[in-house]
Amino acid sequence: MDTEATRSLLPLLAFLLPMAGAVIAVPLQRASDQVRNLVLAAIAATVAVIAIVLGAGVASGSVYELFILQLTPQIWMYLRVDAMGALFGMTAAVLWTLALVYSWGYMHGEHRLGRYYSFFILCLAWTMGVAYAGNLLTFLIFYELFSILTYPLVVHEETPEAMAAGTKYIIYILVGGTLVLLAIVLTFFAAGDQTLTAGGILSAEIGSGRLLAIFWCFLIGFGVKAALVPLHGWVPDAHPAAPAPFSAVLSGVMVAAGSFGIMRVMFYVFGADLLGYLGVMRYLTWIAGFTVLFAAVLAVNQDNLKRRLAYSTISQMAYVVLGVSLLGTEATIGALVHITNHAFMKGALFLCAGLFIRRLGAARVSQLDGAAKRMPVTAAGFAIASLAMIGTPPLSGFVSKWYLGIGMLETGNPWLLAVLLGGALMAAVYLLPIVYRMYFREPVLTPEDKATAEGREAPGAMLAPLVVATILTFVLGLGASLPGMPVALARMAAESFFH
């Protein structure tokens, strides 16, 4: 444990405030929907500010910690904000705030809004706990609550499809969570500790057999949430079933939480040297590389827009695991930065998908012909986010893939450039035809559509989060090298792993 760490209540506030929001969401709704919306948005924005303040402090060399509650003589609930956690916390809090504001318009008139907003803001609380957890048990508590309490959001529509998707989701998540719990118990008995420490807490003296059992339990458990093939089955069903605002955070944060968990285990439980000794990384490289290409191929033939984007998420998040599997500084920087960049690129795409559904009734790619003429701002946002996802400079997606590519060469794996470029090419194949349809095909309009052909763009409250997410794809690309940006925090984290 770092004796130089600063004790701070800010990490505690980052998850207590959303918990309070979840408690008051229903009573506020009885008073006024507008009051509820503003209060919850203020809470989410405050959490985002806290996360940014913590991130700025970490970037300047500080580390924050807080012991919350002693559960047993040996185990505390413990929060610790380091560079890796600060980056994930900022990403989650900002994207959650955008999605919450977007919900005002998208969810207007829907049923069970009190339940929706309560669980939506509550899941932000658990996500911040995942980001700032300082030991394995604290991580598990927040991770499992986050995973289970998203179920009401996945099934919110209560259609047969949504209920089936929710059932599949909860089965996958419970199985994965059980394996993570088993791995944590084995780790505690093997190491006598469960504090997340850069460089790891396990040693080769424990024995290869036990270490491999712990590693694969962790990898499979977190791999379910990270949607590594063949553990990805819940994702293509959950994304289309969930409301679009939650699909944005489901893709941008929830799936990333699995990758985040894998990184925490690799660098804070095992350590790079021990992983190299065990020789398991080559298997993870192959799994992640296959996931990148396989999911991208499956995305191409999906007509349901959100389902296509769901397969894209599986492919893109596998880049993160691919990067960290190489055990190199530059590749790890690329992996960490890609979590943030992907969150806003894919968040923007899902926000666009929701607008197409709400304003045009177009849930399928084949229904988007000429959409740019009727929804020019939304179509532009989709086009820009698509180019970022492909890796077009100077947008954010290019930055993370650049670092991944440099890392592949740095670690002596130039053949993996074929996976990197192949995934980018396939992203162009499943995204650019949508852009072409929107801009270069004539819409097929009903008489009612023709009467309102110029008035289908979404209201400002729904467009604003999309515009902000789109702007962030520029800012995170053009400003990547500035102090305090994700690259700087990612470099701090990566250098602590390898030096």
Question: Is residue 482 classed as helix, strand or coil in its secondary structure?
Answer: coil
**pLDDT confidence of residue 409:** 96
Domain that holds residue 240: 5-497
Number of domains in the chain: 1
**pLDDT confidence of residue 448:** 57
**pLDDT confidence of residue 1:** 41
**pLDDT confidence of residue 240:** 84
Residue 366: CB partners within 8 Å, gap ≥ 6?
303
**pLDDT confidence of residue 447:** 55
**pLDDT confidence of residue 182:** 95
Cα angle for residues 229, 231, 233 (degrees, 5° grid): 95
- Ranges of the chain whose pLDDT falls below 70: 1-3, 445-455
**pLDDT confidence of residue 455:** 53
**pLDDT confidence of residue 453:** 47
201-233 burial, b at 16+ Cβ within 10 Å, e below that, comes to bbeeebeeeebeebbebbbbbbbbbbbbbebbe
Burial category of 282 from C-beta neighbours within 10 Å (exposed 0-12, middle 13-18, buried 19 and up): exposed
216-233 per-position pLDDT tens digit: 999 999 999 998 999 988
DSSP for 414-476, written as a single string: GGGHHHHHHHHHHHHHHHHHHHHHHHHS-----HHHHHTTT--SPPHHHHHHHHHHHHHHHHH
Residue type, 6: T
Burial category of 120 from C-beta neighbours within 10 Å (exposed 0-12, middle 13-18, buried 19 and up): buried
What are the residues facing 6 on neighbouring strands?
64
